[in-house]
Amino acid sequence: MKNNTLKEIATELLKAESVLLFPHVNMDGDTLGSCVALCKGLRKLSKKAYVLIDEDVPLYLNFLVKDYCVRDMSKIKNPDVCVAIDSGEVSRFIKRKEEFFAGKKTMAIDHHVSTDPVFDFNYIDPKASATAMIIYYLFKEMKVEMDKEIGEALWAGITTDTGNFQYSNTTKETHLVVSELYDLGIDHNKISINIYENVRKEKVMMINKIMDTLTIFAKGKGALCYGTLEMLKETGATPDETEGVVESIRSIAGVEVAAFLREDDEKEIKVSMRSKSYANVAEIALRFNGGGHKNAAGCTINSTLDFAMKMLINEIEITLNNE
Amino acid sequence: MKNNTLKEIATELLKAESVLLFPHVNMDGDTLGSCVALCKGLRKLSKKAYVLIDEDVPLYLNFLVKDYCVRDMSKIKNPDVCVAIDSGEVSRFIKRKEEFFAGKKTMAIDHHVSTDPVFDFNYIDPKASATAMIIYYLFKEMKVEMDKEIGEALWAGITTDTGNFQYSNTTKETHLVVSELYDLGIDHNKISINIYENVRKEKVMMINKIMDTLTIFAKGKGALCYGTLEMLKETGATPDETEGVVESIRSIAGVEVAAFLREDDEKEIKVSMRSKSYANVAEIALRFNGGGHKNAAGCTINSTLDFAMKMLINEIEITLNNE
């Protein structure tokens, strides 16, 4: 299969009478914001459109749901097109696989560099800082008149996927597109409060317990924290609510390599690592049969938490001393 | 005194041969970023220019300093113009008052709504989301050719003063100006890491201790934390390193009013309050002879920490129950 032009994608969607949109699992602001924006845009063209989900929408994205998200296909049988949004492989929506292939045509709209074009239609642009950016350009191509609601959904996707315009994927174009969203009357501050000031108390308590375990080593260049099953039980937090903690650890002045160890089972320790600039954490992860990129990597260590910590600190020290 | 046009400000600076720039105390990214950008721009026009400071530059802004910042006037005696940047009243640089008025002319460039034009020349634009935005437009007026270094200093000012483009002061123009900074070749991600991943370990430990004191009340709509002198001593953090913690408290889902109490002395409790949307915390602060705005206010309570907490929780509950 090949990568299509945006014009071909637009033509196909304009031809369709019914479209079902598929966000990926562990949904984030970009996948759901892009789905909701596209759904509203298609409805403005009098098409039948819904977003099919198979998990609870996280609290911070609830404002997007409205009547767009459904859990079954009762409202849209045999859709003309099924579109994977912000992903391009079935494994990212495996529980909805059957529903996806029930579409007369399949399509992917995505910006991940690792995505291959495997569906009937594919638009994968790794240079786009968010899938929401692609949806914006797609609307221009389809001549959809965007409105405030669409603008806010796109803004949500862009701001979350670019780390509030701080990550290196942010470009001149990102800011130019966002500047145009303001013409739609978006209330970016209200959306921002919805997204970022909606942290469960249980998560706050869990992050606090995790940060209490902070160990600094390698002359201040290494930092490590851990979270146990016991801590999850005590706080009522869910394992995925520990996401982002490794970035907090890295934000400490002088720290080059940050590691977070999550006890998923008695002898199953999930490790996330981040480096600030020069250290290659993918190399460290590889030594434990994990993988990733130079600045972000992970692995699973099948040992006790204590032993995993000792081994990891040792390996990180070796890497930092070799620089 | 009156508010000048940007053209008048530009003309005055173009006439000057030596210019001394004054950031406000408790310096932040906008005041120092704007100073350094303007300093470099003036030097590009072959003028003698320095930034006069009277306090240590915070770790996260150290990358801006280079040879721009000085602590005395030995390098620039009797400057033609002295400019207050990101403030417009002497109280904001009181220790450098004498040096400021040693300038043949005085000037203010600021965006605070509360600033009055009291110097020889004044440009105060409360609609600008950051003073760095004004410096950008000033350079256009002065026909200064901006470079990467200027662009990165302006970006630092804009991103910090707009809360990474999330606060309500962010506008279409903010994004348009930033999009143009990219043409200068700025490495926004590198600057962002400098700014946000430079948190002292002592501060991390202090914030953690503070968050451990979390009390939720008023059916989840009120939240309060405190920090004691003892905790500062234990962690080695400075009192100003507790800044930002009240915003973290407010970010908890369901919380409308957040309060942070800092023990500055045995019977001197500094209170910061934030509300998420409808509650008026300025009204609560007023009951303790404090003040502020609807969503951000503060006061000082001269009692023990325990008693201050009890009184405050009581007043916040009254306010929340009246809504």
Q: Please give, rounded to a whole number of angstroms, the shortest distance from the CA of A234 to a CA of chain B.
A: 14
| Fold that domain A201-322 belongs to in CATH | Diaminopimelate Epimerase; Chain A, domain 1 (3.10.310)
> In the numeric block, which tokens belong to residue B19?
């210019």
Q: What is the DSSP string of A248-284?
A: HHHTBTT--EEEEEEEEETTEEEEEEEESSS--HHHH
Chain A interface, mutation test: which of B197, B212, B278, most A Cβ atoms within 10 Å?
B197
Pick from A170, A168, A148: nearest CA to A159: A170
Domain ranges of chain A: 6-196, 201-322
Q: How many distinct helices (H) and strands (E) make up chain B?
A: 13, 12
- Give the global pTM: 0.94
Per-residue confidence (pLDDT) for residue B145, from 0 to 100 = 98
For residue A288, give the DSSP letter: T
Burial of B57 (0-12, 13-18, 19+ CB in 10 A): middle
Contact: A182, B192; criterion CB under 8 Å: no
Q: Please give, rounded to a whole number of angstroms, the shortest distance from the CA of A99 to a CA of chain B.
A: 34
Per-residue confidence (pLDDT) for residue A7, from 0 to 100 = 98
> Distance between CA atoms of A165 and A76, rounded to whole angstroms?
36
- Yes or no: say if B122 and B108 are a contact pair by the CB < 8 Å rule: yes
pLDDT band with cut points at 50, 70 and 90 for residue A2: confident
Task: Show the beta-strand stretches assigned E in chain B.
Answer: 18-23, 48-52, 69-70, 81-85, 105-110, 121-124, 215-217, 222-227, 257-265, 268-275, 291-292, 296-301
Please give the angle made by the CA atoms of A152, A156 and A157, to the nearest 5 degrees: 120
Least CB–CB distance from A170: residue in B188, B198, B214: B188
Task: Show the beta-strand stretches assigned E in chain A.
Answer: 18-23, 48-52, 69-70, 81-85, 105-110, 121-124, 215-217, 222-227, 257-265, 268-275, 291-292, 296-301
- Yes or no: say if A245 and A280 are a contact pair by the CB < 8 Å rule: no
- The chain B residues in contact with chain A (CB within 8 A) are 59, 159, 164-168, 170-173, 175-176, 178-179, 182-183, 188-189, 192-193, 196-201, 204-205, 208, 211-212, 214, 216, 220, 248, 250-255, 276-277
Contact: A277, B193; criterion CB under 8 Å: yes
Chain A residue whose CA is closest to B200? A253
Residues A189, A146, A174, B111, Cα dihedral to 10°: -40
Chain B residue whose CA is closest to A258? B197
> Which residue bears the tokens 């409205």?
A66
Q: What 3-state class would DSSP assign to B91?
A: helix
Check whether B323 has a pLDDT greater than 90: no
Q: What is the pLDDT of residues B4-27, one digit of tens each?
A: 999 999 999 999 999 999 999 999
Chain A interface, mutation test: which of B62, B155, B158, B179, most A Cβ atoms within 10 Å?
B179
Chain A residue whose CA is closest to B163? A164
Q: Please give, rounded to a whole number of angstroms, the shortest distance from the CA of A103 to a CA of chain B.
A: 38
> In the numeric block, which tokens belong to residue B29?
């990214």
- Yes or no: say if A80 and A103 are a contact pair by the CB < 8 Å rule: yes
Kindly list the residues from chain B whose CB atom is less than 8 angstroms away from the CB atom of residue A196. Answer: 166, 251
Q: How many distinct helices (H) and strands (E) make up chain A?
A: 12, 12
Contact: A250, B197; criterion CB under 8 Å: yes
* CATH architecture designation of domain A6-196: Alpha-Beta Complex (3.90)
Q: What is the pLDDT of residues B68-123, one digit of tens each?
A: 999 999 999 999 999 999 999 999 999 999 999 999 999 999 999 889 999 999 99
Query: What residues contact A136, with CB distance under 8 A and at least 6 apart?
Result: A146, A154, A177, A180, A181
Q: Please give, rounded to a whole number of angstroms, the shortest distance from the CA of A77 to a CA of chain B.
A: 37
Task: Give mean pLDDT, residues A145-172.
Answer: 97
For residue B25, give the DSSP letter: S
Check whether A124 has a pLDDT greater than 90: yes
> In the numeric block, which tokens belong to residue A228?
């146990």
> In the numeric block, which tokens belong to residue A6?
């945006």
Q: What is the DSSP string of A95-140?
A: GGHHHHHTSSEEEEEE--TT----SSEEEE-TTSSSHHHHHHHHHH
Per-residue confidence (pLDDT) for residue B114, from 0 to 100 = 85
Kindly list the residues from chain B whose CB atom is less than 8 angstroms away from the CB atom of residue A189. Answer: 166-168, 170
Q: Please give, rounded to a whole number of angstroms, the shortest distance from the CA of B155 to a CA of chain A.
A: 11
Q: What is the pLDDT of residues A196-242, one digit of tens each?
A: 999 999 999 999 999 999 999 999 999 999 999 999 999 999 999 99
Per-residue confidence (pLDDT) for residue A130, from 0 to 100 = 98
- Single-letter amino acid code for the residue at A262: R
Chain A interface, mutation test: which of B201, B247, B256, B274, most A Cβ atoms within 10 Å?
B201
